[in-house]
Structure 1
Amino acid sequence: MIITLSNTKISASINTVGAELMKLEKDNQNYIWTIDEAFWNKTSPILFPIVGRLKNDSYSINGKTYELPRHGFARNFEFEVANQTESSAVFILRDNTETLKNYPFQFELRLKYELIENSLKISYSVLNKSQEIMPFSIGAHPAFAIEDSFSDYSLQFNEAEKFVSYELENEQFNNSFRKIPSENGKINLDYALFEKDALVFKQLKSNKLTLSKKNQPYLSVEFKDFPYLGIWTKPNAPFLCIEPWCGLADNVNHNGNIYEKEGIQLLDNNAEFQKEINISIL
Protein backbone atom coordinates (compact mmCIF):
# COMPACT_ATOMS: atom_id res chain seq x y z
CA MET A 1 0.00 0.00 0.00
CA ILE A 2 1.22 3.51 -0.81
CA ILE A 3 0.79 6.21 1.83
CA THR A 4 0.85 9.79 0.52
CA LEU A 5 1.73 12.78 2.69
CA SER A 6 1.51 16.43 1.71
CA ASN A 7 1.70 20.00 2.91
CA THR A 8 1.45 23.27 1.01
CA LYS A 9 5.01 22.90 -0.33
CA ILE A 10 5.85 19.26 -1.04
CA SER A 11 4.48 15.72 -1.00
CA ALA A 12 5.90 12.28 -0.29
CA SER A 13 4.78 8.73 -1.13
CA ILE A 14 5.87 5.80 1.05
CA ASN A 15 5.33 2.11 0.39
CA THR A 16 4.24 0.12 3.44
CA VAL A 17 6.53 -2.68 2.17
CA GLY A 18 9.86 -1.72 3.69
CA ALA A 19 8.49 1.72 4.70
CA GLU A 20 10.28 2.76 1.51
CA LEU A 21 10.17 6.34 0.24
CA MET A 22 9.01 6.15 -3.37
CA LYS A 23 8.49 9.82 -4.25
CA LEU A 24 9.39 13.25 -2.91
CA GLU A 25 7.77 15.90 -5.07
CA LYS A 26 7.67 19.65 -5.40
CA ASP A 27 5.97 21.48 -8.28
CA ASN A 28 5.29 18.13 -10.00
CA GLN A 29 8.98 17.19 -9.99
CA ASN A 30 9.98 13.94 -8.28
CA TYR A 31 13.35 14.18 -6.56
CA ILE A 32 13.52 10.43 -5.85
CA TRP A 33 14.50 8.32 -8.83
CA THR A 34 11.86 6.19 -10.57
CA ILE A 35 12.65 2.47 -10.57
CA ASP A 36 14.20 1.02 -13.70
CA GLU A 37 15.06 -2.62 -13.02
CA ALA A 38 17.77 -2.51 -15.66
CA PHE A 39 19.72 -0.59 -13.02
CA TRP A 40 18.14 -1.24 -9.59
CA ASN A 41 14.80 -2.28 -8.13
CA LYS A 42 14.71 -0.01 -5.05
CA THR A 43 14.27 3.70 -4.35
CA SER A 44 15.09 4.15 -0.66
CA PRO A 45 15.39 0.90 1.31
CA ILE A 46 15.86 0.85 5.08
CA LEU A 47 19.00 -1.05 6.09
CA PHE A 48 18.34 -3.11 9.23
CA PRO A 49 19.53 -5.04 11.23
CA ILE A 50 22.78 -4.85 9.26
CA VAL A 51 24.32 -2.41 6.82
CA GLY A 52 26.15 -3.87 3.84
CA ARG A 53 27.25 -7.47 3.45
CA LEU A 54 28.39 -9.92 6.09
CA LYS A 55 31.40 -12.11 5.45
CA ASN A 56 29.92 -15.35 4.02
CA ASP A 57 26.50 -13.71 4.58
CA SER A 58 26.60 -15.01 8.15
CA TYR A 59 27.46 -14.03 11.71
CA SER A 60 27.76 -15.78 15.04
CA ILE A 61 26.41 -15.32 18.56
CA ASN A 62 27.83 -17.52 21.33
CA GLY A 63 29.15 -19.93 18.72
CA LYS A 64 25.84 -20.29 16.87
CA THR A 65 25.75 -19.21 13.22
CA TYR A 66 22.96 -17.20 11.64
CA GLU A 67 22.53 -15.94 8.08
CA LEU A 68 21.41 -12.52 6.88
CA PRO A 69 21.30 -11.11 3.35
CA ARG A 70 23.03 -7.86 2.42
CA HIS A 71 21.43 -4.90 4.23
CA GLY A 72 19.26 -7.19 6.34
CA PHE A 73 15.56 -7.94 6.06
CA ALA A 74 13.53 -4.87 7.05
CA ARG A 75 13.25 -3.63 3.47
CA ASN A 76 11.25 -6.74 2.50
CA PHE A 77 8.58 -6.72 5.25
CA GLU A 78 5.20 -5.03 5.43
CA PHE A 79 5.18 -2.26 8.04
CA GLU A 80 2.19 -1.27 10.14
CA VAL A 81 1.03 2.35 9.72
CA ALA A 82 0.35 4.34 12.90
CA ASN A 83 -0.28 7.95 13.91
CA GLN A 84 -0.99 9.10 10.38
CA THR A 85 -1.86 12.73 9.65
CA GLU A 86 -1.98 14.68 6.41
CA SER A 87 1.75 15.49 6.61
CA SER A 88 3.21 12.68 8.76
CA ALA A 89 3.03 8.95 9.41
CA VAL A 90 4.79 6.35 11.55
CA PHE A 91 5.70 2.94 10.12
CA ILE A 92 6.36 0.05 12.52
CA LEU A 93 8.04 -3.34 12.10
CA ARG A 94 8.26 -5.81 14.99
CA ASP A 95 10.07 -9.11 15.28
CA ASN A 96 8.11 -12.10 13.99
CA THR A 97 8.59 -15.80 13.42
CA GLU A 98 10.52 -15.15 10.20
CA THR A 99 12.90 -12.51 11.62
CA LEU A 100 13.62 -14.59 14.72
CA LYS A 101 14.98 -17.46 12.61
CA ASN A 102 18.07 -15.47 11.65
CA TYR A 103 18.02 -12.56 14.08
CA PRO A 104 17.19 -13.92 17.54
CA PHE A 105 16.14 -10.63 19.12
CA GLN A 106 12.82 -9.02 19.94
CA PHE A 107 12.68 -5.48 18.59
CA GLU A 108 10.48 -2.66 17.39
CA LEU A 109 11.67 -0.59 14.42
CA ARG A 110 9.89 2.71 13.76
CA LEU A 111 10.27 5.13 10.87
CA LYS A 112 8.49 8.46 11.08
CA TYR A 113 8.12 10.55 7.93
CA GLU A 114 7.20 14.19 8.53
CA LEU A 115 6.91 17.03 6.02
CA ILE A 116 8.01 20.43 7.34
CA GLU A 117 7.93 23.26 4.80
CA ASN A 118 10.31 22.16 1.97
CA SER A 119 11.86 19.36 4.05
CA LEU A 120 11.20 15.72 4.77
CA LYS A 121 12.34 14.60 8.21
CA ILE A 122 12.86 10.85 8.57
CA SER A 123 13.21 9.67 12.17
CA TYR A 124 14.55 6.21 13.00
CA SER A 125 13.82 4.45 16.29
CA VAL A 126 14.99 1.01 17.40
CA LEU A 127 13.67 -0.45 20.65
CA ASN A 128 15.29 -3.55 22.15
CA LYS A 129 12.54 -5.69 23.64
CA SER A 130 14.90 -8.61 24.35
CA GLN A 131 16.40 -9.38 27.74
CA GLU A 132 19.97 -9.29 26.42
CA ILE A 133 22.06 -6.65 24.68
CA MET A 134 20.98 -6.39 21.04
CA PRO A 135 23.58 -5.84 18.29
CA PHE A 136 22.33 -4.05 15.18
CA SER A 137 23.11 -1.58 12.44
CA ILE A 138 20.79 0.80 10.64
CA GLY A 139 21.16 2.98 7.58
CA ALA A 140 19.33 5.12 5.05
CA HIS A 141 19.64 4.54 1.30
CA PRO A 142 17.66 7.20 -0.64
CA ALA A 143 18.31 7.37 -4.38
CA PHE A 144 17.96 10.84 -5.87
CA ALA A 145 17.04 11.37 -9.50
CA ILE A 146 19.84 12.48 -11.83
CA GLU A 147 18.74 14.15 -15.06
CA ASP A 148 20.91 14.87 -18.08
CA SER A 149 24.65 14.52 -17.56
CA PHE A 150 25.95 12.95 -14.33
CA SER A 151 29.03 15.17 -14.53
CA ASP A 152 26.80 18.26 -14.25
CA TYR A 153 26.33 17.40 -10.58
CA SER A 154 28.47 17.96 -7.52
CA LEU A 155 28.34 17.39 -3.77
CA GLN A 156 29.17 20.25 -1.41
CA PHE A 157 29.84 19.27 2.20
CA ASN A 158 29.34 21.77 5.01
CA GLU A 159 32.90 21.36 6.32
CA ALA A 160 36.25 21.42 4.54
CA GLU A 161 37.27 17.78 4.28
CA LYS A 162 40.06 15.56 3.09
CA PHE A 163 37.95 12.77 1.65
CA VAL A 164 39.25 9.24 2.23
CA SER A 165 37.08 6.42 0.89
CA TYR A 166 37.51 2.93 2.32
CA GLU A 167 37.63 0.31 -0.41
CA LEU A 168 35.19 -2.55 -0.84
CA GLU A 169 36.15 -5.84 -2.44
CA ASN A 170 33.25 -8.22 -3.08
CA GLU A 171 31.23 -5.89 -0.83
CA GLN A 172 33.61 -6.25 2.13
CA PHE A 173 36.28 -3.86 3.35
CA ASN A 174 39.77 -4.94 2.33
CA ASN A 175 41.86 -2.54 4.49
CA SER A 176 42.72 -0.28 1.57
CA PHE A 177 41.56 3.26 0.94
CA ARG A 178 41.92 6.08 -1.57
CA LYS A 179 41.74 9.83 -1.56
CA ILE A 180 38.81 11.38 -3.42
CA PRO A 181 39.57 14.58 -5.37
CA SER A 182 37.83 17.62 -3.92
CA GLU A 183 38.15 21.35 -3.49
CA ASN A 184 36.90 23.22 -0.43
CA GLY A 185 34.57 20.37 0.55
CA LYS A 186 33.21 19.92 -2.98
CA ILE A 187 33.29 16.66 -4.96
CA ASN A 188 32.52 16.81 -8.66
CA LEU A 189 30.61 13.71 -9.67
CA ASP A 190 31.87 11.27 -12.27
CA TYR A 191 30.87 7.65 -12.81
CA ALA A 192 34.56 6.73 -12.64
CA LEU A 193 34.48 7.45 -8.89
CA PHE A 194 32.20 4.43 -8.43
CA GLU A 195 34.04 1.84 -10.54
CA LYS A 196 34.96 -0.04 -7.34
CA ASP A 197 31.56 0.22 -5.69
CA ALA A 198 30.45 2.91 -3.22
CA LEU A 199 32.44 5.72 -1.70
CA VAL A 200 32.55 5.07 2.04
CA PHE A 201 33.58 7.81 4.46
CA LYS A 202 34.28 6.98 8.09
CA GLN A 203 35.63 10.17 9.66
CA LEU A 204 33.71 13.09 8.24
CA LYS A 205 33.44 16.37 10.10
CA SER A 206 30.45 17.31 7.95
CA ASN A 207 26.87 16.51 8.90
CA LYS A 208 25.21 18.02 5.84
CA LEU A 209 25.76 17.96 2.11
CA THR A 210 24.16 19.70 -0.84
CA LEU A 211 23.61 18.16 -4.25
CA SER A 212 24.00 20.78 -6.99
CA LYS A 213 23.39 20.72 -10.71
CA LYS A 214 25.59 23.06 -12.78
CA ASN A 215 26.55 24.70 -9.47
CA GLN A 216 22.90 25.42 -8.61
CA PRO A 217 21.86 23.87 -5.26
CA TYR A 218 19.27 21.18 -5.89
CA LEU A 219 18.64 19.45 -2.58
CA SER A 220 20.39 18.88 0.74
CA VAL A 221 20.70 15.96 3.15
CA GLU A 222 21.43 16.56 6.83
CA PHE A 223 22.66 13.56 8.82
CA LYS A 224 23.68 14.64 12.31
CA ASP A 225 25.35 11.98 14.51
CA PHE A 226 25.67 9.33 11.81
CA PRO A 227 29.26 8.02 12.02
CA TYR A 228 29.49 6.80 8.41
CA LEU A 229 28.35 7.92 4.99
CA GLY A 230 28.07 5.98 1.75
CA ILE A 231 27.70 7.53 -1.72
CA TRP A 232 26.72 5.12 -4.49
CA THR A 233 25.46 4.71 -8.01
CA LYS A 234 25.80 2.21 -10.86
CA PRO A 235 27.46 2.74 -14.25
CA ASN A 236 25.35 5.19 -16.28
CA ALA A 237 22.46 4.96 -13.81
CA PRO A 238 20.25 8.07 -13.48
CA PHE A 239 20.45 8.21 -9.68
CA LEU A 240 22.77 9.00 -6.80
CA CYS A 241 22.35 7.40 -3.38
CA ILE A 242 23.31 9.43 -0.32
CA GLU A 243 23.45 6.97 2.58
CA PRO A 244 23.96 7.94 6.23
CA TRP A 245 24.83 4.81 8.21
CA CYS A 246 25.17 3.59 11.77
CA GLY A 247 27.01 0.45 10.73
CA LEU A 248 29.30 -0.99 8.08
CA ALA A 249 29.84 -4.06 5.92
CA ASP A 250 32.20 -6.68 7.30
CA ASN A 251 35.96 -6.54 6.95
CA VAL A 252 37.48 -9.42 4.97
CA ASN A 253 39.28 -10.48 8.17
CA HIS A 254 36.27 -10.33 10.50
CA ASN A 255 35.91 -13.36 12.79
CA GLY A 256 32.11 -13.47 12.42
CA ASN A 257 31.26 -12.52 16.01
CA ILE A 258 28.62 -9.82 15.55
CA TYR A 259 29.43 -8.23 18.91
CA GLU A 260 32.97 -7.56 17.62
CA LYS A 261 31.89 -6.23 14.22
CA GLU A 262 33.19 -2.78 13.24
CA GLY A 263 30.49 -0.13 13.60
CA ILE A 264 27.98 -2.37 15.36
CA GLN A 265 25.49 -0.67 17.68
CA LEU A 266 24.84 -2.35 21.04
CA LEU A 267 21.50 -1.62 22.66
CA ASP A 268 20.61 -2.56 26.25
CA ASN A 269 17.35 -4.32 26.96
CA ASN A 270 14.37 -1.94 26.93
CA ALA A 271 16.63 0.84 25.62
CA GLU A 272 15.79 2.94 22.56
CA PHE A 273 18.08 4.17 19.77
CA GLN A 274 17.09 7.28 17.82
CA LYS A 275 18.47 9.13 14.79
CA GLU A 276 17.06 11.36 12.08
CA ILE A 277 17.91 12.74 8.67
CA ASN A 278 16.45 15.74 6.87
CA ILE A 279 16.05 15.98 3.09
CA SER A 280 15.36 19.51 1.89
CA ILE A 281 14.39 20.59 -1.60
CA LEU A 282 16.17 23.84 -2.42
Structure 2
Amino acid sequence: MNTTISNSTLKASIKSAGAELFSLKDNQNKEYIWEGNPDFWGKHSPILFPIVGTLKNNTYTANGNEYELSRHGFARDMEFQLVEKTENSAVFSLQSNEETLKKYPFKFELQLIYTLENTSLKIEYVVINKGDSKIPFSIGAHPAIALPESFESYSFKFEKEESLKYNLLENDLISNKTETLKTTENVVPLHYKLFENDALVFKTLESNSLTILENSKPYVQIDFEDFPSLGIWTKDQAPFICIEPWFGYSDTADNSGDLFQKEGILTLEADQTFNSQFSIKIL
Protein backbone atom coordinates (compact mmCIF):
# COMPACT_ATOMS: atom_id res chain seq x y z
CA MET A 1 0.00 0.00 0.00
CA ASN A 2 1.24 3.48 -0.85
CA THR A 3 0.47 6.67 1.06
CA THR A 4 0.87 10.18 -0.34
CA ILE A 5 1.11 13.40 1.65
CA SER A 6 1.34 16.90 0.21
CA ASN A 7 1.48 20.61 0.87
CA SER A 8 1.61 23.62 -1.44
CA THR A 9 5.19 22.93 -2.56
CA LEU A 10 5.92 19.20 -2.16
CA LYS A 11 4.37 15.77 -2.51
CA ALA A 12 5.84 12.69 -0.80
CA SER A 13 4.89 9.04 -1.30
CA ILE A 14 5.69 6.25 1.15
CA LYS A 15 5.29 2.48 0.87
CA SER A 16 3.86 0.47 3.74
CA ALA A 17 6.61 -2.06 2.94
CA GLY A 18 9.46 -0.84 5.11
CA ALA A 19 7.66 2.51 5.57
CA GLU A 20 9.99 3.54 2.76
CA LEU A 21 9.90 6.95 1.12
CA PHE A 22 9.98 6.36 -2.63
CA SER A 23 9.06 9.73 -4.11
CA LEU A 24 9.51 13.38 -3.25
CA LYS A 25 8.36 15.82 -5.93
CA ASP A 26 8.09 19.59 -6.08
CA ASN A 27 5.12 21.41 -7.57
CA GLN A 28 6.82 21.30 -10.98
CA ASN A 29 6.70 17.47 -10.71
CA LYS A 30 10.49 17.21 -10.42
CA GLU A 31 11.54 14.01 -8.63
CA TYR A 32 14.24 14.17 -5.94
CA ILE A 33 14.31 10.54 -4.75
CA TRP A 34 16.10 7.78 -6.66
CA GLU A 35 13.72 5.67 -8.77
CA GLY A 36 15.03 2.33 -7.45
CA ASN A 37 16.24 0.83 -10.73
CA PRO A 38 17.53 -2.63 -9.62
CA ASP A 39 20.28 -2.52 -12.24
CA PHE A 40 22.00 -0.19 -9.78
CA TRP A 41 20.16 -0.43 -6.46
CA GLY A 42 16.56 -1.46 -5.99
CA LYS A 43 15.73 0.69 -2.97
CA HIS A 44 14.91 4.36 -2.41
CA SER A 45 15.24 5.31 1.26
CA PRO A 46 15.23 2.29 3.59
CA ILE A 47 15.12 2.44 7.38
CA LEU A 48 18.12 0.80 9.11
CA PHE A 49 17.03 -0.94 12.32
CA PRO A 50 17.89 -2.55 14.74
CA ILE A 51 21.44 -2.36 13.38
CA VAL A 52 23.26 -0.10 10.95
CA GLY A 53 25.74 -1.74 8.63
CA THR A 54 27.10 -5.27 8.96
CA LEU A 55 27.74 -7.48 11.98
CA LYS A 56 30.87 -9.62 12.08
CA ASN A 57 29.80 -12.99 10.63
CA ASN A 58 26.25 -11.54 10.55
CA THR A 59 25.83 -12.69 14.15
CA TYR A 60 25.68 -11.16 17.62
CA THR A 61 25.11 -12.26 21.17
CA ALA A 62 22.66 -10.87 23.70
CA ASN A 63 22.16 -12.15 27.23
CA GLY A 64 24.28 -15.21 26.45
CA ASN A 65 22.44 -16.30 23.28
CA GLU A 66 23.56 -15.99 19.65
CA TYR A 67 21.39 -14.53 16.88
CA GLU A 68 21.72 -13.77 13.19
CA LEU A 69 20.98 -10.41 11.64
CA SER A 70 21.65 -9.45 8.04
CA ARG A 71 23.08 -6.11 6.94
CA HIS A 72 21.12 -3.07 8.18
CA GLY A 73 18.61 -5.24 10.07
CA PHE A 74 15.07 -6.34 9.25
CA ALA A 75 12.82 -3.27 9.50
CA ARG A 76 13.34 -2.26 5.87
CA ASP A 77 11.90 -5.63 4.75
CA MET A 78 8.80 -5.65 6.94
CA GLU A 79 5.27 -4.39 6.52
CA PHE A 80 4.41 -1.30 8.57
CA GLN A 81 0.93 -0.21 9.59
CA LEU A 82 -0.32 3.27 8.72
CA VAL A 83 -1.65 4.45 12.09
CA GLU A 84 -2.31 8.14 11.46
CA LYS A 85 -2.57 10.41 8.43
CA THR A 86 -3.27 14.06 7.70
CA GLU A 87 -2.90 15.95 4.45
CA ASN A 88 0.77 16.71 5.10
CA SER A 89 1.83 13.96 7.53
CA ALA A 90 1.74 10.20 8.04
CA VAL A 91 2.72 7.89 10.92
CA PHE A 92 3.80 4.28 10.32
CA SER A 93 4.33 1.65 13.00
CA LEU A 94 6.14 -1.69 13.27
CA GLN A 95 5.63 -3.81 16.39
CA SER A 96 7.90 -6.62 17.48
CA ASN A 97 6.34 -9.99 16.71
CA GLU A 98 7.11 -13.70 16.56
CA GLU A 99 9.25 -13.20 13.45
CA THR A 100 11.34 -10.33 14.85
CA LEU A 101 11.84 -11.98 18.24
CA LYS A 102 13.67 -14.88 16.59
CA LYS A 103 16.28 -12.46 15.23
CA TYR A 104 16.14 -9.78 17.90
CA PRO A 105 14.80 -10.90 21.30
CA PHE A 106 13.49 -7.51 22.41
CA LYS A 107 9.98 -6.07 22.45
CA PHE A 108 9.69 -2.73 20.73
CA GLU A 109 7.58 -0.42 18.62
CA LEU A 110 9.26 1.49 15.78
CA GLN A 111 7.46 4.51 14.34
CA LEU A 112 8.35 6.55 11.26
CA ILE A 113 6.69 9.95 11.09
CA TYR A 114 6.77 11.87 7.81
CA THR A 115 5.81 15.55 7.83
CA LEU A 116 5.98 18.12 5.04
CA GLU A 117 6.84 21.64 6.18
CA ASN A 118 7.26 24.30 3.47
CA THR A 119 10.03 22.97 1.19
CA SER A 120 11.22 20.28 3.65
CA LEU A 121 10.29 16.70 4.42
CA LYS A 122 10.91 15.91 8.07
CA ILE A 123 11.42 12.23 8.94
CA GLU A 124 11.20 11.32 12.61
CA TYR A 125 12.17 7.99 14.16
CA VAL A 126 10.55 6.84 17.39
CA VAL A 127 11.67 3.68 19.21
CA ILE A 128 9.61 2.54 22.20
CA ASN A 129 10.89 -0.15 24.55
CA LYS A 130 7.87 -2.39 25.16
CA GLY A 131 9.79 -4.88 27.30
CA ASP A 132 10.81 -5.00 30.96
CA SER A 133 14.57 -4.67 30.44
CA LYS A 134 16.84 -2.39 28.42
CA ILE A 135 17.27 -2.96 24.69
CA PRO A 136 20.32 -2.29 22.47
CA PHE A 137 19.81 -0.87 18.98
CA SER A 138 21.15 1.28 16.19
CA ILE A 139 19.02 3.25 13.78
CA GLY A 140 19.75 5.11 10.60
CA ALA A 141 18.48 6.62 7.38
CA HIS A 142 19.49 5.77 3.81
CA PRO A 143 17.80 8.26 1.46
CA ALA A 144 19.03 8.16 -2.14
CA ILE A 145 18.88 11.58 -3.79
CA ALA A 146 18.34 11.47 -7.56
CA LEU A 147 21.03 13.21 -9.61
CA PRO A 148 19.58 14.02 -13.05
CA GLU A 149 22.74 15.71 -14.37
CA SER A 150 26.11 14.02 -14.86
CA PHE A 151 27.60 12.81 -11.56
CA GLU A 152 30.55 15.20 -11.80
CA SER A 153 28.10 18.14 -11.98
CA TYR A 154 27.51 17.69 -8.25
CA SER A 155 29.43 18.49 -5.10
CA PHE A 156 28.87 18.57 -1.33
CA LYS A 157 29.08 21.57 0.90
CA PHE A 158 29.41 20.78 4.58
CA GLU A 159 27.88 23.21 7.06
CA LYS A 160 31.12 23.80 8.96
CA GLU A 161 34.77 23.98 8.07
CA GLU A 162 36.29 20.88 9.62
CA SER A 163 38.63 17.97 9.04
CA LEU A 164 36.47 15.44 7.19
CA LYS A 165 38.07 12.24 8.42
CA TYR A 166 36.27 9.03 7.52
CA ASN A 167 36.85 5.34 8.24
CA LEU A 168 37.32 2.83 5.46
CA LEU A 169 35.30 -0.37 5.22
CA GLU A 170 37.03 -3.73 4.81
CA ASN A 171 34.80 -6.74 4.08
CA ASP A 172 31.83 -4.55 5.11
CA LEU A 173 33.34 -3.96 8.58
CA ILE A 174 34.77 -0.72 9.97
CA SER A 175 38.56 -0.70 9.77
CA ASN A 176 41.01 1.47 11.67
CA LYS A 177 42.18 2.97 8.38
CA THR A 178 41.08 6.54 7.85
CA GLU A 179 41.32 9.07 5.08
CA THR A 180 40.42 12.75 4.96
CA LEU A 181 38.33 14.40 2.28
CA LYS A 182 39.97 17.39 0.67
CA THR A 183 37.76 20.45 0.60
CA THR A 184 37.81 23.92 -0.87
CA GLU A 185 35.69 26.28 1.22
CA ASN A 186 33.90 23.23 2.71
CA VAL A 187 33.05 21.90 -0.78
CA VAL A 188 33.89 18.38 -2.01
CA PRO A 189 33.50 17.63 -5.75
CA LEU A 190 31.72 14.36 -6.45
CA HIS A 191 33.34 11.60 -8.49
CA TYR A 192 32.85 7.84 -8.45
CA LYS A 193 36.43 7.12 -7.37
CA LEU A 194 35.52 8.44 -3.91
CA PHE A 195 33.38 5.32 -3.42
CA GLU A 196 35.63 2.63 -4.86
CA ASN A 197 35.96 1.15 -1.34
CA ASP A 198 32.22 1.40 -0.60
CA ALA A 199 30.68 4.02 1.70
CA LEU A 200 32.46 6.89 3.41
CA VAL A 201 31.79 6.47 7.14
CA PHE A 202 32.12 9.56 9.33
CA LYS A 203 31.91 8.43 12.95
CA THR A 204 31.66 12.05 14.10
CA LEU A 205 31.10 15.39 12.40
CA GLU A 206 30.87 18.96 13.59
CA SER A 207 28.53 19.81 10.71
CA ASN A 208 24.82 19.30 11.30
CA SER A 209 23.88 19.58 7.64
CA LEU A 210 25.18 18.92 4.15
CA THR A 211 24.11 20.63 0.94
CA ILE A 212 24.27 18.93 -2.44
CA LEU A 213 25.23 21.44 -5.11
CA GLU A 214 24.24 21.01 -8.76
CA ASN A 215 26.58 22.95 -11.06
CA SER A 216 27.64 24.89 -7.94
CA LYS A 217 24.04 25.88 -7.11
CA PRO A 218 22.18 24.59 -4.01
CA TYR A 219 20.05 21.57 -4.91
CA VAL A 220 19.11 19.57 -1.80
CA GLN A 221 20.03 20.02 1.87
CA ILE A 222 20.07 17.20 4.42
CA ASP A 223 19.84 18.33 8.06
CA PHE A 224 20.91 15.73 10.61
CA GLU A 225 21.55 17.58 13.87
CA ASP A 226 20.25 14.68 16.01
CA PHE A 227 22.61 12.10 14.48
CA PRO A 228 26.28 11.70 15.49
CA SER A 229 27.44 9.71 12.45
CA LEU A 230 27.02 9.92 8.69
CA GLY A 231 27.48 7.58 5.76
CA ILE A 232 27.77 8.72 2.15
CA TRP A 233 27.45 6.13 -0.62
CA THR A 234 26.66 5.40 -4.23
CA LYS A 235 27.22 2.63 -6.77
CA ASP A 236 29.62 3.01 -9.67
CA GLN A 237 27.95 4.93 -12.52
CA ALA A 238 24.66 5.21 -10.60
CA PRO A 239 22.76 8.53 -10.88
CA PHE A 240 22.10 8.95 -7.16
CA ILE A 241 23.87 9.73 -3.91
CA CYS A 242 22.87 8.45 -0.47
CA ILE A 243 23.29 10.78 2.50
CA GLU A 244 22.80 8.58 5.56
CA PRO A 245 22.42 9.97 9.11
CA TRP A 246 23.21 7.19 11.58
CA PHE A 247 23.27 6.16 15.20
CA GLY A 248 25.85 3.37 14.99
CA TYR A 249 27.68 1.68 12.13
CA SER A 250 29.16 -1.68 11.11
CA ASP A 251 31.10 -3.86 13.51
CA THR A 252 34.83 -3.49 13.89
CA ALA A 253 36.97 -6.55 13.12
CA ASP A 254 37.84 -6.97 16.83
CA ASN A 255 34.24 -6.61 18.04
CA SER A 256 33.30 -9.01 20.85
CA GLY A 257 29.92 -9.85 19.30
CA ASP A 258 27.96 -8.73 22.38
CA LEU A 259 25.36 -6.31 21.01
CA PHE A 260 25.32 -4.34 24.27
CA GLN A 261 29.08 -3.74 23.87
CA LYS A 262 28.98 -2.85 20.17
CA GLU A 263 30.68 0.42 19.25
CA GLY A 264 28.09 3.14 18.63
CA ILE A 265 25.16 1.16 20.05
CA LEU A 266 22.26 2.86 21.85
CA THR A 267 20.43 1.39 24.83
CA LEU A 268 16.90 2.18 25.89
CA GLU A 269 15.49 1.45 29.33
CA ALA A 270 12.17 -0.33 29.85
CA ASP A 271 9.14 1.80 28.94
CA GLN A 272 11.38 4.58 27.61
CA THR A 273 11.11 6.26 24.20
CA PHE A 274 13.87 7.36 21.80
CA ASN A 275 13.27 10.18 19.28
CA SER A 276 15.43 11.54 16.49
CA GLN A 277 14.77 13.27 13.19
CA PHE A 278 16.39 14.51 10.02
CA SER A 279 15.05 16.45 7.07
CA ILE A 280 15.39 16.69 3.31
CA LYS A 281 15.04 20.27 2.09
CA ILE A 282 14.53 21.15 -1.57
CA LEU A 283 16.49 24.29 -2.46
> TM over 0.5: same fold?
yes
- Stretches of structure 2 lacking an aligned partner (at least 5 in a row): none
User: Which SS does the other structure have where 1:99 is aligned?
Assistant: helix
The secondary structure found in structure 1 opposite 2:85 is: coil
Letter in 2 for 1:13: S
Which residue of structure 2 lines up, in the alignment, with residue 84 of structure 1?
Answer: 85
C-alpha contact 2:18 2:75 (8 A) present in aligned 1 = yes
- Cα distance, 1:184 vs. partner? 2.3
Cα distance in 2 for residues equivalent to 1:124 and 1:37? 27
Give 1:225 deviation, angstroms. Answer: 2.2
Mapping for residues 50-65 of structure 1, pairs under 5 Å: 50-65=51-66
Q: Which residue of 1 aligns with 2:9?
A: 9
Q: CA deviation at 1:203?
A: 2.0
Q: What is the alpha-carbon root mean square deviation over aligned residues?
A: 0.7
**Distance in 2 between residues matched to 1:53 and 1:106, nearest whole Å:** 22
Q: What's the offset of the Cα at 1:278?
A: 1.1
Residue in structure 2 matched with residue 99 of structure 1 by the alignment: 100
* Aligned residue identity for 1:99: T
1:35 to partner: Cα distance: 1.3
Residue pair 2:226, 2:278 contacting (<8 A) in 1 also: no
Letter in 1 for 2:273: E
- 8 A Cα contact 2:211 2:219, kept in partner: yes
TM-score normalized with structure 2 length: 0.98
Match of 2:163 in 1: 162
Supply the distance in 1 between the matched residues of 2:36 and 2:63 (Cα, whole angstroms): 41
What is the identity, as a one-letter code, of the residue corresponding to 1:62? N
Partner of 2:143: 142
- 2:231/2:244 contact within 8 Å kept: yes
Structure 2 Cα separation of the partners of residues 161 and 153 of structure 1 = 20
Aligned residue runs from structure 1 range 1-282, under 5 A: 1-26=1-26, 27-282=28-283
Inter-partner Cα distance in structure 2 for 1:192 and 1:48: 29
Following superposition, the deviation at residue 62 of structure 1 comes to 2.5
Report the Cα distance in structure 2 between the residues aligned to 1:33 and 1:102, rounded to whole angstroms: 30
Distance 1:241 1:44 in 2: 8
Distance across 2 between alignment mates of 1:34 and 1:62: 41
Which whole-Å deviations, capped at 9, do the CAs of 1:11-63 have from their partners, x for residues lacking one? 00000000000000001111001111111110000000000000000000132
Q: CA deviation at 1:281?
A: 0.4
Shift of 1:97: 0.5
In structure 1, runs of 5+ residues without a counterpart are none
Deviates more, 1:172-181 or 1:85-94: 172-181
Q: Which runs of 4+ in 1 moved over 6 A?
A: none
Task: Give the number of aligned pairs.
Answer: 282
| Inter-partner Cα distance in structure 2 for 1:61 and 1:14 | 33
Q: What is the percentage of aligned positions where both structures have the same residue?
A: 50
